[in-house]
Structure 1
Amino acid sequence: MTSYALHIQHTDGAARAGILHTAHGQIPTPIFMPVGTVGSVKAVAPDDLTAMGAPIILGNTYHLYLRPGHKLVERHGGLHGFASWPGAILTDSGGFQIFSLNSLRKLREEGAEFRSHLDGSRHLFTPENVVDIQRSLNSDIMMVLDECVPHGADYAYTDKSTALTTRWALRARAHYPAGTAHNLLFAITQGGFFKDLRRRSIEELCAHDFDGFAIGGLSVGEPKAVMYDFLYDIAPQLPAEKPRYLMGVGTPLDIVNGIAAGVDMFDCVLPTRNARNGTLYTSQGKINIKRREFADDDGPLDPQCSCYTCRTFSRAYLRHLYVSKELLAFRLNSLHNLTYFLDLVRGARQAILEDRYTDFLARITALYPDEAALAAAGSGL
């Protein structure tokens, strides 16, 4: 058994507050992980991430394997040394990226064969070499190779795909036995939008000693109400003593509902992508900074936020930067949105510790009425 584990400190309903122990520090949960696909969180530097209190970021195995190459990264001290990041790193296996290639990939028992989106060259990811690549990157948390099934896939295809993902996960675990080193290995539960397949995936994978378990294959085009229905059904089935990770999700409302369902870890490109599009998250809800109403607004972006952007600049200046297409807009907007998401999970954690998570969930839900209406439609929430 590995010495690195999740220690649950307190629960409030299904919501959990804990500490995840990794080789590069302790991570308070629930946690949002900024996405640094190619070893860089877009528009921000490591010292920015440290200043906002991010204990862990993401990298992507597929992209780093293709460029600059995992062996080069390994020679430069792994991804921590190469990117000068002192905190923890989780790397996705690249399964979702391969899934998104569609015509450029072919799945078989051995693994996933794909053509590079960069130059068309052929490559093969297997459960074993994906672990080896992540070992070269020295990821604190490694994800197994899986297939992400699209919404709308029929039962027969989803059944076959889920069984393949399970076999791949067990090969990865056999290739890298529990307790081998400090790199944690998480399995990814799949099953598409069939609850019996979801249950089977969980039962078969959770019978083995993975260091954590992820929920894959949500937020892939399904209606919001369907996603929440499956989220609230799946999360409680995962082992209570292991970290639970909801992959690629999502909005602030998704995150607080995921926490309510019992999830510990989240990631999404949304805060930085929306920052580059001028959509900013505040304690009063979302705003679009390009709107004319902010042209002469000398107030801070969010008076309740203590990030560098909100402490230093007016809404008028942020709008000016954005409409002038100044690169600084990307950085300042990204600093704020990432801080908002990190403050969101910090607030959730404190609410759990103080047994007031139901009130916290209601307060955040009220900030996003349109999205909440979609989530509640037909779901019983």
Structure 2
Amino acid sequence: MKVRLSRERVIRHLNSHLSHNLLFKTTILVLFSVSPSIIPQTNITSPVNALLTGLKFPVSLRFAPDGRIFYTEKDTGNIRIIQPNRTLLPTPFETITPIFSDGEAGLLGIALDPGFSSNNYVYIYYTYRDSGSFTHGHIVRYTANGNTGTSPKDIFDVTSSAPNTVYHNGGYIKFGPDGKLYAMVGEFHQDQQAQNQGSMTGKMLRINPDGSIPSDNPITGSLDYAWGIRNSFGFDFDSSNNRLIATMPGLYSDDKILIIIRNGNYGWPTCVGICNDSRFIDPTVDFNPVVTPTGIATVAPNSYIFGEYSTGNLVQLQLNATGSVLSMTPLYTAPGGIIAVELGPNNKLYFTTPDTIYTYDLPARPAANATDPSLVILGIIVIIAAAILVVYTALHYRSKRLRTHQQAETEMFRQ
């Protein structure tokens, strides 16, 4: 009898030990399987590299199909070219003169025609002052003859509603997927003009490449595409969903990221923050305290990277299909305020500070179409529950087999 009881205790102890061992191993396996979703992965090599340093306020840049990079210097009026071998040509493509560059004014925007490979058209947005001290925003088109700008043609001109303005000039321009030239014009520090549909200031404009008004614009005979916009330093198009996304710095509060839609009114100056007013479209992101969002680039469907001038932060923004925020992830902090942010060739992001152009290797970015965090948590719970169920079933089966084995041995001892 003593031998039988001792043997049964050993079997029960072995059963308990094996059960705990199996449960421990399964738990470890589950944790390792889900850890990439909940534990940030680090990169030993920095994805950020300085392309050129010692520059003079590079504020906007574009990529030619042949590998050249065109960029503008805000204060000098120079349009510069970086060659495919990453060297800066000593002679500017063109120098804009006269130019007004006080405050936020200057040589502000550049765009290459979608047909650049055949027509060589380069569009430039800059500001100048007239004899009455009114500030003008002006778009001129050059034809690139090699690395030299020729045949300037005036495309567009807008005048501030008051003299001596230096802020909120807009100036960012980019061709949309519809082949139209989109231009951001600030309200020239005259905030009420953003709600004045008789003015082109405080607006997102949509222009034919020759400067004429598209026949399908929201308002017949008007370049206005959207209004109620204080100012913007950058916007981009998301071809996966036809989204136009833009930054908008506030005054002392409520910096914003906006999804711009046709005929949309974004509230400035009547609505400063999130107003829940049916007359206006609330921002997708509202920043408090302010960070001065600048350039923004689409890097994948529903995935955007923008710069902050006040903090020097480069930030990843993930939206879902309806435009709600899934996450915002700081990627890098530059030693100076970030100005331009553009997606370039070879899966590289380019961004600028007042004296440097950087590249950022996008494979290091968070994944496109990041999953909703609540769904990630739910998935982890389901995986753990399933693992526990499997362990329970295995232990139950093992326990049943051991009991059967014990019964057989007991019968043997009784015989």
Provide TM-score, normalisation by structure 1: 0.30
Task: Report 1 or 2 for greater relative contact order, CA contacts < 8 Å, sequence distance ≥ 6.
Answer: 1
**Which structure carries more strand by proportion?**
2
Provide TM-score, normalisation by structure 2: 0.28
**Which structure carries more helix by proportion?**
1
